[in-house]
Structure 1
Amino acid sequence: MLQTKYFLKIILTALLILLPVQAWAATVNKMRYSSSPTRVRIVLDTDEKVKYKDEKQGSSIVVNIDAAVAKEMSEKVKDPIIKSVVLKKDGRKASKLVVSLNKEQQYKVFALQQPNRIVLDIYRILVTKNTVNQGKGLQYTFWQDDMEGLPIQMHILEVAPNSDYKILPFSGAIDRNGRGRLLKAVNTLGAKAAVNASYFDTSGWIIGNLKIDGEWLGMEDKARSAFVIADGKPQIMKDLAYNGSVMLPALGVKLHVKGINRERIAEDVVIYTHYFGPSTRTNSFGCEVRIKDGKVAEISKAGNLRIDKNSVIVSAHGTNAKILEQLQIGDRASVQQTLGDTVADKAEVVLGAGPMLVEDGKRNVRSVSEQIAGDIAYGRAPRTAIGVKKDGTVVILVADGRRTNSVGMTLDEVARYMIKLGAVSALNFDGGGSSEMVLNNKILNNPSDGNERAVSVGLGLFSKKN
Structure 2
Amino acid sequence: MEQNKRNKIKILFLVLLLIKSLGYTEWEKITDGIEYQKFTLSDPNDVYVVRISRNEPSVLLDVGVGGGTIRDIREPVSKIVSRYQNIVNYSGQQYNIVAAVNGDFFSYDTDQVVGGQVILGTYADKMGSRGKFAFKNLSSVFIDKTVSFSGKVTFADGSQTNINDINVPRGNNQLILYTFHYDYSTFTTADGCEVVVGYVNEPLSPNKEVSGVVREIRSGIGSALIPFDGFVLSASSSAATLLEQKCKVGDVIKVKLSITSSAGKDWTDVYSAVEGNQWFVSNGQLTSDLWEERHPRTAVAYNDNYIYLIVCDGRRSTSIGMKLSELGNFCIQYLQAKEALNLDGGGSSTMWVNGSVKNVPSDGTERSVANALFVAKTATDKSLRFNHTDVVKTITGANLKLGPGTQFGNITQLNKNTICVVSSSPLNGVFAKGDYWWKIEYNNTEGWINQSVLSDTIAPAVPQLLYPQNNSQMVDRNPVFRWTSVEDPDGVYYTLVVSSNTDFTSKIVYELSLTTNYYVPAEHGDFKVNTTYYWYVTSRDKGENESGQSEIFSFVIISSGDVTKPGQVVSLEAT
Matched, 1:279 2:176: no
Match in the other structure for 1:143:
39
2:275 to 342, 352, 357: 352
Instruction: Give runs of aligned pairs for residues 28-43 of structure 1, distance below 5 A.
Output: none
Q: Are 2:61 and 2:135, in contact at CA under 8 Å, matched by a contact in 1? A: no
1:379 to 293, 301, 309: 293
Q: Alignment RMSD, CA only?
A: 3.1
Q: Are 1:164 and 1:464, in contact at CA under 8 Å, matched by a contact in 2? A: no
Q: Which amino acid aligns with 1:207?
A: V
Match in the other structure for 1:309:
228
Q: Are 1:227 and 1:234, in contact at CA under 8 Å, matched by a contact in 2? A: no
Q: Which amino acid aligns with 2:316?
A: R
Q: Are 1:296 and 1:328, in contact at CA under 8 Å, matched by a contact in 2? A: yes
Distance 1:195 1:242 in 2: 27
Q: Are 2:292 and 2:325, in contact at CA under 8 Å, matched by a contact in 1? A: no
Matched, 1:185 2:80: yes
Q: Are 2:105 and 2:115, in contact at CA under 8 Å, matched by a contact in 1? A: yes
**1:428-451, CA deviations, whole angstroms, 9 ceiling, x for partnerless residues?**
112222210011211111112221
Instruction: Give runs of aligned pairs for residues 427-466 of structure 1, distance below 5 A.
Output: 427-465=341-379
Matched, 1:412 2:332: no
Distance 2:318 2:346 in 1: 16
Structure 1 residues 310 and 137, CA gap change in structure 2 (3 angstroms): closer
Runs of 5+ consecutive residues of structure 1 not aligned to the other structure = 1-106, 109-125, 368-376
Is the deviation greater in 153-162 or in 195-204?
195-204
How far off its partner does 1:408 sit? 2.0
Answer 1 or 2: higher relative contact order, Cα 8 Å, separation at least 6.
1
How far off its partner does 1:285 sit? 4.4
Structure 1 residues 363 and 346, CA gap change in structure 2 (3 angstroms): same
How far off its partner does 1:174 sit? 5.8
Q: Give the length in aligned residue pairs.
A: 328
**1:149-194, CA deviations, whole angstroms, 9 ceiling, x for partnerless residues?**
xx32211111112347623224244644443222133345142111
How far off its partner does 1:356 sit? 1.5
Distance 2:269 2:119 in 1: 11
TM-score by length of 1: 0.62
Match in the other structure for 2:287:
364
Q: Which amino acid aligns with 1:313?
A: V
Matched, 1:257 2:138: no
Structure 1 residues 144 and 281, CA gap change in structure 2 (3 angstroms): same
TM-score by length of 2: 0.51
Q: Are 1:365 and 1:415, in contact at CA under 8 Å, matched by a contact in 2? A: no
1:399 to 302, 312, 321: 312
Q: Which amino acid aligns with 1:155?
A: Y
Structure 1 residues 199 and 271, CA gap change in structure 2 (3 angstroms): farther
1:167 to 51, 60, 74: 60
**1:15-68, CA deviations, whole angstroms, 9 ceiling, x for partnerless residues?**
xxxxxxxxxxxxxxxxxxxxxxxxxxxxxxxxxxxxxxxxxxxxxxxxxxxxxx
Q: Are 1:143 and 1:153, in contact at CA under 8 Å, matched by a contact in 2? A: yes
How far off its partner does 1:365 sit? 5.0
Distance 1:452 1:335 in 2: 39
Q: Which amino acid aligns with 2:229?
A: N
Secondary structure of the equivalent of 1:345? coil
Secondary structure of the equivalent of 1:412? helix
Instruction: Give runs of aligned pairs for residues 112-261 of structure 1, distance below 5 A.
Output: 128-134=23-29, 135-147=31-43, 151-163=44-56, 166-173=59-66, 175-177=68-70, 178-187=73-82, 189=85, 190-202=96-108, 203-220=110-127, 222-239=128-145, 241-247=147-153, 254-258=161-165, 260-261=166-167
Distance 1:276 1:205 in 2: 11
**1:178-235, CA deviations, whole angstroms, 9 ceiling, x for partnerless residues?**
4322213334514211111133334443433322342222121x33433222254242
How far off its partner does 1:425 sit? 0.8
Distance 1:132 1:322 in 2: 60
How far off its partner does 1:279 sit? 1.0
Instruction: Give runs of aligned pairs for residues 62-141 of structure 1, distance below 5 A.
Output: 128-134=23-29, 135-141=31-37
Distance 1:211 1:323 in 2: 28
How far off its partner does 1:296 sit? 4.7
Q: Are 2:311 and 2:350, in contact at CA under 8 Å, matched by a contact in 1? A: yes
Is the deviation greater in 303-312 or in 166-175?
166-175
Distance 1:364 1:322 in 2: 50
Runs of 5+ consecutive residues of structure 2 not aligned to the other structure = 1-16, 86-95, 199-210, 381-575
Larger Rg: 2
Percent of aligned pairs with the same residue? 25
